[in-house]
Amino acid sequence: MHYKFTIIVPVYNEEDNLERVEKELLAYTKTASTPTKILFVNDGSKDNSQAIIETICNTHAHFDFLLFSENSGLSAAIKAGFDYVDTELVGYIDSDLQTDPKDFDLLLEHIGAFDLVTGVRANRKDSFVKNMSSKIANGIRRTFTHDGMDDTGCPLKVIKTDFAKRIPMFKGLHRFLPAMILLQHGKVIQIPVQHFPRIAGTAKFGLWNRLLGPLMDCFAYLWMKKKYINYDVAKKST
């Protein structure tokens, strides 16, 4: 099959969720609006996640994996996925499945006219502290980037792969994906998607890396924006 879309699934100590991830993503690939495959990126999990991932990938031909030798963080997992995909479209979803894979079809409807389509979580099913810290962090980020996005932390995105591969990633930059597409003169849009409570495993982000960490990342983004190289080739030899 000629696949057009790869879904990256970053994984870090999610053994209790992976059976459900397999079930939900397998169901989605059977009904997806475009031929889709899955790429797990195991960010150095210390539990039984890797054994489960390998069983899944040995069972389904359109499921693949990368395993990091040590924990490197969410941005590194997403970057590795971008580096390895070979389809024209790439997306990602968190392995806690607080978003619904079926909502990828909502995003794919718009990817023709845009270069990144991101979900925005409607009726978030998180704690008050988590919701408020995310709201504040998003407000700070918008002030720095002017990207117009309300929820860049939403773990449901679709990007044209040629744009994704040109993103210079660093730790924390996964929150700045729309802004980095805008630096490439690309077009971005946000679409409301469903959100659900986490039902297994533990959250990997606390107050520090949801609020204070992203504030420091904003300064890294401003440096990146100032130094970013952008060019268009008008003509080349044949």
d(CA 33, CA 125) in angstroms, rounded, equals: 27
CA angle 159, 161, 166 (to 5 degrees): 100
pLDDT surpassing 70 at residue 226: yes
Q: How confident is the model at residue 219 (pLDDT cuts 50, 70, 90)?
A: confident
d(CA 40, CA 34) in angstroms, rounded, equals: 19
Tell me which amino acid residue 110 is. Answer: H
**Could you give the C-alpha distances from 129 to 34, 55, 163, 190, 206, in angstroms and in order?**
37, 37, 34, 24, 10
Higher-confidence residue of 72 and 141: namely: 72
- Please give the distance of CA 169 from its chain centroid, rounded to a whole number: 12
pLDDT recorded at residue 117: 97
Domain boundaries, the chain: 5-227
- The separation between the first and the last C-alpha atoms of the chain, rounded to the nearest angstrom, is 31
pLDDT recorded at residue 14: 94
In tens, the pLDDT along 11-68 reads 999 999 999 999 999 999 999 999 999 999 999 999 999 999 999 999 999 999 999 9
Q: How confident is the model at residue 76 (pLDDT cuts 50, 70, 90)?
A: very high
pLDDT recorded at residue 131: 59
* DSSP state for residue 173 in the 8-state scheme: G
* pLDDT averaged over every residue in the chain: 86
| Token output for 65 | 């994996």
Provide the CATH topology of domain 5-227: Spore Coat Polysaccharide Biosynthesis Protein SpsA; Chain A (3.90.550)
In tens, the pLDDT along 113-126 reads 999 999 988 766 55
d(CA 14, CA 37) in angstroms, rounded, equals: 20
